[in-house]
Amino acid sequence: MSDMTVERQMEQAVARLAERRSAERGESQNAGQKAETEKAEKTEKIEKTEKIEKTEKKQRPVRRSGNKNAGERSVNRNTGEKTASRGGSQPHAGRKPAERPGNRAVSEKTANRTTAEKTGGGTEKNSRSRMTGEKPAARGVNRSVRPSARAAGKAVPQDGNKPKVKIIPLGGLEQIGMNITAFEYEDTIVVVDCGLAFPTDDMLGIDLVIPDVTYLERNFDKVKGFVITHGHEDHIGALPYILQKINVPVYGTKLTIGLIENKLKEHNLMKNTKRKVVKHGQTITLGDFKLEFIKINHSIADAAALAIFTPAGVIVHTGDFKIDYTPVFGDAFDLQRFAELGKKGVLALLSDSTNATRPGFTASERTVGRTFDAIFAEHKNNRIIVATFASNVDRVQQIISSAEKYGRKVVVEGRSMVNVIGTASELGYINIPDGTLIDIDHLKNYPDEQTVLITTGSQGESMAALSRMASGMHRKVSIKPNDVVILSSTPIPGNEKAVSKVINELCMKGVEVITQDTHVSGHACQEEIKLIYSLLHPKFALPVHGEYRHLVANRSIAIAMGTPKENVLIMSSGNVVELSEDSCRVVDQVQAGGILVDGLGVGDVGNIVLRDRQNLAQNGIIIVVLTLEKYSNQLLAGPDIVSRGFVYVRESEDLMDEAKRVVDDAVADCLERNVTDWGKIKNLIRDSLSDFMWKRMKRNPMILPIIMEVS
């Protein structure tokens, strides 16, 4: 559940923004109505978080090849923008190990090197996120500094001349979403993912949060590109903002790029953004790195893991994954490739920790399809409405397949749903039999029992289609007592109440609501994570994508699977982790954190504005207006008191009269004493009124004196 959580909320936030933006561009003709509709859609996905620690040590040799795989076949000498296709169009066909770029970077030898320098804790200063100003708790595994440890951050002689790659997570470790990690070697920086986070409850009015990429801006010349693992908002959502500052090519698989393009269009960035579609099994060369896209499974199609071939060794980033042996679309997880990589030696593994606390395996997406079939078979006389995440194309595919099997027409409702399904269908990721899909306006032409509605709103979002249907506010569909509603999702933590509310509303209308077995996670549980460790057998483990407890759970798995404890590092955003053949540790800290986006403003809302918003929300505001004559300082009008969010004035006349007297006295006092400094006058008004309100009401409203001047 936490998996969908973020995704869902992000999508909502994004939709909200999109709505504003299009309104801004005057695109919406029917402003009111459209806004309503659009609001309804913010649906859906994203996920989680990450963290870290530090480590290092011995084990499998990864030979450094100082000059990045020279002689590699498809290396592109210049910008490295080319895609080297390894297995032809058929990702798995005819792959010969020897053809894999990067093989050479990995050493054949298996000497067991022991380097025993453990360095004490990395520098964990944490310039934590600006917006929260929170200090990062020193979490550290292995933070204990050994007596022999050298000053953190200093290169240690032994590996002084071994290639060192830096891993710099710029987000995603302290909050849900906002996954973005830079990999750096000399003049090369490659950024994996560029996601957004949804605002926490205290970020009033904030639409979304994007990562602070100051470090990348400062090192712009080195940045070769963004490599995106999949199309969820916590991995692609910040791209339209960040690309405006760091305009470098974006690489991803077809559906991922398709979803990114939807965003680029929305932000008018299509012309200026280079995109490159990469297939699973292909390798791209970016500066000193080669990155291979490896097929994995997740709750969105076309997700990839990355094998990053660096001068220090091979780093595998799993992206978000689960292992689905029977995926609905496309191939299963490329376990063979993982095994090959593992055999040759993997230096470090960054793996998805979302479900690391859950034992067992995540069920195959297909199990949900069987549930749908059973429900369809059982409810032949009802209209069926299914609410799910827009980005889960495979889920939608299964609903459509069941609908077709049972002779039902399908209506897709909700803007994000229509968008994603449109893109997926254009790109061939969903198969919609001719004549199955009908327009919502034609719904009335079919008997209820021959229709299915697929809609957004499975998280109880108040403006999403399902909630509007449930509350009777949807323009085209109203819930009928005979309907069956399937919630194909789990409530994300924090959304439980909203979901309950919708379910209650539906039940009050006599609807049967089904939630049992109608959802599976998109993230690996413990046994799947173990399989990955067992195949890759990484020397260093860097759990990512999860709340801190998830990262810790992932660490336990790594240790249980044989990774030495001191080789597991839980990172924090902004850590600069230096990775070499022999060590992995935090050596520095760069600026990192969240930038708040509110409407069209990026970064203009910070702590001070947020504090005011919180204060206003909790205490309301009292505005005192008076008019003074310019030179004489004579009171010409007022003081008048206006309040909002404080008391209902009409029923508190006595209080307001008293308040006015307090202000009158304060003003009179100032004028008598010939106080001419308006700042002082305002302060006196504020103080006296504030004292009064506290004494009378034990409340602390924001007080805003305004003095107008007439000459």
Binder of Zn ion out of 41, 159, 234, 505 (CB under 5 A): 234
> Where does this chain touch Zn ion (CB under 5 A) — which range of 145-153, 232-240, 330-338, 627-635?
232-240
**Token code pair at residue 162:** 């071994």
3-state SS, residue 362: coil
Residue closer to Zn ion (CB basis): 46 or 470: 46
Residue 293 burial (CB count, 10 A): 28
Query: Quick one: which of 222, 224, 213, 283 has its CA closest to 250?
Result: 224
Query: Given the rule CB under 5 A, which of 227-235, 376-384, 424-432, 438-446 is the region that contacts Zn ion?
Result: 227-235
Tokens at 706, concatenated: 């305004």
Tell the smallest beta-carbon distance from residue 280 to Zn ion (Å).
Answer: 16
Contacts of 15 (CB under 8 A, 6+ apart): 38, 39, 41, 42, 43, 415, 416
DSSP labels for 16-84?
A: HHHHHHHHHTT--SSHHHHHHHHHHH----------B--EE--BS-----SSTTTT-TT--SSS--PEE
> Are 91 and 254 contacting, i.e. CB atoms less than 8 angstroms apart?
no
Of 278 and 544, nearer to Zn ion (C-beta) is: 544
Min dist CB 321 to Zn ion, Å, is 9
Q: Is the dihedral of CA 441, 444, 450, 456 positive or negative?
A: positive
Closer to Zn ion by Cβ: residue 310 or 362 = 362
Of residues 352, 394, 483, 582, which has the active-site annotation? Answer: 352
Residue labelled with tokens 């005057």: 26
Q: Which residue number, 60 or 263, has a Cβ lying nearer to Zn ion?
A: 263
| 196: exposed, middle or buried (Cβ count in 10 Å: 0-12, 13-18, 19+) | buried
The one segment of 94-102, 230-238, 555-563, 656-664 that binds Zn ion by CB under 5 A: 230-238
Q: Which one, of 370, 279, 373, 364, lies nearest residue 328 by Cα?
A: 364
- What mask, x for binding Zn ion by CB under 5 A, covers residues 45 to 74? --x---------------------------
Kindly report whether the peptide bond that precedes residue 543 is cis, defined as omega within 30 degrees of 0: no
Residue whose CB is less far from Zn ion, 47 or 566: 47
The rounded radius of gyration (Å) of the Cα atoms in the chain is 29
Contact characters 312-341, Zn ion, x per CB under 5 A: --------x---------------------
Residue 234 vs 528, nearer CB to Zn ion: 234
d(C-alpha 12, C-alpha 75), whole Å:
41
> Can 352 be counted among the known catalytic residues?
yes
For residue 180, the minimal CB distance to Zn ion (Å) is 11
Residue 232 as a binder of Zn ion (CB under 5 A): the answer is: yes
> Residue 294 CB, nearest distance to Zn ion (Å)?
16
Catalytic residue among 230, 280, 317, 523: 523
How far apart are CB 179 and Zn ion at their closest, in Å? 6
User: What is the rounded distance in angstroms from the CA atom of residue 312 to the CA atom of residue 159?
Assistant: 11
CA–CA dist 235, 551 (Å, integer): 18
Judged by CB, which is closer to Zn ion: 246, or 300?
300
Contact indicator for 312, 164 with CB cutoff of 8 Å: yes
13 to 52, contacts with Zn ion by CB under 5 A? 47
* Six-digit token string for 205: 């009015």
CB of residue 319 to Zn ion, shortest distance in Å: 8
Q: Is 280 among the catalytic positions?
A: no
Count of chain residues binding Zn ion (CB under 5 A)? 4
Q: Cβ 296 to Zn ion, closest distance in Å?
A: 11
352 binds Zn ion (CB under 5 A): no
Active site residues: 352, 523
The site for Zn ion (CB under 5 A) is made up of: 47, 232, 234, 320
